[in-house]
Amino acid sequence: MTVTYEACYTVKPMEPTKCGRVPLSEWDQIGTITHVPTIYFYRLSQNFHLFPNNTIASNLKDSLSRVLVPFYPLAGRLRWISNGRLELDCNAMGVQFVEAQSSSSLEDLGDFSPSSEHHYLFPKVDYTLPIHELPLVLAQLTKFKCGGISISMTISHAVADGPSALHFTREWARLARGETLEKVPFLDWKVFRAGEPPSVPLTKCHVHTEFDHPPLLLGQTNNSEERKKKTTVANLKLSKFQVETLRKTANESWNRPRNGRAYSRYESVTGHVWRSVCKARGHREEQPTGVGICVDSRSRMEPPLPKEYFGNATLYVVASSLAGDLMSKPLGYASSRIREAIERVNDEYVRSAVEFLKNQEDLSRFQDLHAVESEKGLFYGNPNLGVVSWLTLPFYGLDFGWGKEVYMGPGTHVHDFDGDSLLLPGPDEDDGSLLLHLCLQVVHMDAFKKHFYEDIEFFFYQQRINKIK
């Protein structure tokens, strides 16, 4: 694929906005602090082909300028202060908007599965620059020879988690199609005591081991070698029937607390992924293993935060087990371990974790800089994994005025570390299917696919036998 870059603009808020340096919460400064990319592909109707070439770009830039007024933090810049900590400089320096032209057609992209060639469809973030020079949002409009287009966005995770980033993009789309802003962002980082000193000393804090490095392979003292091993990415589909088979198996194979709600799609599928990964890696029974889970704390706080809270309110927690227990016990056991980790996240837990982080001398060891083979940040590769869920986020149906997308997906390098994975609804939201984007070491991927699908067939066969009995 050949992509020609035609123009690059800095888009600033259309009106004056609040200025000044703002302290970020501890949640904004740990985990992924780089940019997270997504992309949308559109087939335009014949009516749009009649407009001048710059009409679409002009509309996108104009609406982007207008949406940056209420979402003014995204027009600012991050700054390092000290001890691995960041602050947000609301200086209205703007975001980057790129126009590009591709020699390919949408048909050349097949089923749109992420590939290395898609890299050119995303705006490049130059991490060699000082962080205070990097835009927090970069967008790229690419026009294809067939008349179709793609819109890609990469947004700093240090300023916006998934729900916040989607709130921004959906409001941008509303303005682009001529509607008014639906919901303004809730901009108050003080709810997580941003910028405040610790209220209790570290010696009196609850120790949050989930912020420490996850388990290592037995016999190893660090994960340096595992970080360097070659990986590959698979994009696997689960039909509605397969999802229901997993959920039914999880709920029938393990006793839940009395009156406890049934295991969700996420808990059931993630439990199955965890078991299959352990089998594919050939773990010993006594091997400790963990799975990282993202939990949105907005509704779990007391009182609950507004859904429009803008920033990072999604916490990373870890479910743990011995590999032998996961592989030998029913699927419901794995789901129960995941449920326990999720249910730990309540108001008391969140405030305790904030206090723990405030007492840390340096936050850099908790930060993921997205550098392959880097020794920095938490690593959820062998013997662990992380399963991020986009199942409940409104990614699909982003209409800028020319209809809904024909495909939406993550960037090509979002989940390119061993153990990284992403669950999202299938492209036809109504068919109940799910997609799993998974990165594993090359030597483990074929075995994973085998266990992943064959075990589902076994579960279904087992359910039929039990029904006959």
**Cβ(117)–Cβ(417) under 8 Å?**
no
**Amino acid found at 78:** L
Which residues have CB under 8 Å from 46's CB, separation 6+? none
- SS3 (DSSP) at 410: strand
Burial class (CB in 10 A: 0-12, 13-18, 19+), 431: exposed
The gap between the terminal CA atoms of the chain, to the nearest Å, is: 57
Retrieve residue 64's tokens: 């982007």
Task: Quote the DSSP letter at residue 75.
Answer: G
Q: How many residues are present in the chain?
A: 469
Q: Across-strand partners of 40?
A: 151, 408
For the chain, what is the total number of helices (H) and then of strands (E)?
A: 10, 17
Return the sign of the alpha-carbon dihedral for residues 252, 254, 255, 261: negative
Q: Catalytic positions, please?
A: 157, 399
Cis peptide before 198 (omega within 30 of 0): no
**Amino acid found at 460:** F
d(CA 113, CA 352): 41
- SS3 (DSSP) at 138: strand
**In 282-346, alpha helices (H):** 323-328, 331-343
Q: Cα 273 to the chain's mean position, in Å?
A: 17
Burial class (CB in 10 A: 0-12, 13-18, 19+), 204: exposed
Nearest alpha carbon to residue 33 among 157, 182, 129, 161: 157
